[in-house]
């Protein structure tokens, strides 16, 4: 289960969580999303909240509803997500990060892009 915060509605937080899974290829484009009931049980949420999250993803052009079959990941969903995340990072997060790096005196040569993450 995820840790929900008070920053935004839970259904939007769930939509973000599910969108990040799509970026990781879960499920892949063209495949069905897990059912509302399964997602509600997995995340400990009301099925109506899950439904709202999935509808937000439909509205964002990531999923399509197929009557009687469920929700399916649209082609290019991961590309749309990646483009939107990239634009948001460059416009919102990068300026703050760049300013912090400058305040701390960290230059590009100090950063190791190839370092493996420690568990």
> pTM (2 decimals)?
0.81
**In the predicted structure, residue 119 carries a pLDDT above the cut 60:** no
CA nearest neighbour of 81 among 32, 40, 21: 21
Q: Residue 115's pLDDT is what?
A: 73
Q: What is the pLDDT of residues 3-58, one digit of tens each?
A: 899 999 999 999 999 999 999 999 999 999 999 999 999 999 999 999 999 999 99
Summary mean pLDDT of the chain: 94
- Checking if the pLDDT of 106 tops 90, the result is yes
- How far apart are alpha carbons 26 and 93 in whole angstroms? 25
* Banded model confidence at residue 1, pLDDT cuts 50, 70, 90: low
- Measure Cα distances from 33 to 54, 65, 89, 111 in Å: 9, 10, 27, 38
């Amino acid at each position: 289960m995820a840790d929900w915060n008070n920053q935004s509605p839970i259904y939007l937080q769930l939509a973000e969580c599910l969108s990040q899974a799509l970026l990781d290829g879960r499920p892949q484009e063209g495949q069905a999303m897990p059912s509302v009931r399964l997602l509600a049980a997995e995340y400990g949420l009301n099925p109506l909240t899950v439904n709202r999250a999935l509808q937000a993803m439909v509205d964002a052009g990531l999923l399509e509803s197929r009557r009687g079959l469920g929700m399916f990941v649209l082609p290019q969903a991961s590309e749309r997500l990646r483009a939107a995340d990239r634009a948001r990072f460059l416009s919102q997060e990068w300026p703050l990060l760049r300013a912090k790096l400058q305040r701390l005196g960290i230059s590009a040569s100090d950063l190791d892009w190839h370092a493996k993450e420690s568990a």
